[in-house]
A = this chain, B = another copy of it.
Amino acid sequence: MARSKDENKEEAIFRATLKVVLERGFSGMKMSEVAREASIATGTLYLYFQDKDDLINRLYLHLKKIQAQRYLEGYAADAPFLPGFRTIWFQVFRQSLHNPEESAFLEQYYRSPFLREEVRSASRSMLQPIYDLLDRGKAELLIKPIHNEVLLAQLIGPIHELVRLHREGDFPLLDEHIESAFQMAWDAVKA
């Protein structure tokens, strides 16, 4: 009957939005610039997204889903504890390091006026497998019997901070540093 929407367009808009937010900051993101970056007209944005708010929230969910997937890549819930722990730690690290734009966007979203409670809680539940792993570690007496959130903060926090310092404070991030960081993470939580 008529032409159909370009399937790849939404993805292209997402990519463009991410790039612009990274360059200009959350506040400096202009719809017109996103459109230019995606090589489409400003008006076309509004065919795919209701408004700026909708664009940002859907991008957030999109990225969060990808991030959560990557966190769990290569992880088998039935593997022994320590290898599972190590796998996830390195996945989180890799994700943070190799996709700093995505990480930055996700972090910023939390502080932005665009944040919606429903979206936040949805993204929280994506980390369930990690909570499960921690529970198992405690049950097997391999890690300290500490509240999951506290353990999680101990694991995720240094990774984020390390990558941030690396990208901002221009110090090289050698394999040796990464191994040290993992060793510290493990020393921190092990029983």
Contacts and interface: CB of A to CB of B under 8 A. Distances in A.
Interface stretch (A36-44, A61-69, A79-87, A155-163): A155-163
A124 interface: yes
Given A158-B154, A159-B157, A188-B187, A180 B111 contact: no
Contacts of A111: 25-26, 104, 107-108
Interface of A: 24-28, 104, 107-108, 110-114, 120, 124, 144, 146-147, 149-150, 152-154, 156-162, 164-166, 168-169, 171, 177, 180-181, 183-185, 187-190
Count identical subunits in the complex.
2
Contact of A153 (B25, B147, B154, B165): B165
Contact of A180 (B26, B144, B190): B144
Contacts of A189: 184
15 contacts: A26-B111, A27-B112, A107-B111, A144-B183, A144-B184, A146-B177, A146-B184, A147-B180, A149-B166, A154-B158, A154-B161, A156-B161, A157-B162, A160-B161, A187-B188
A142 B90 CA distance: 27
A25 B113 CA distance: 5
A3 B52 CA distance: 47
A144 B147 CA distance: 26
A53 to B, nearest CB: 12
B177 A152 contact: no
Contacts of A144: 180, 183-184
A165 B188 contact: no
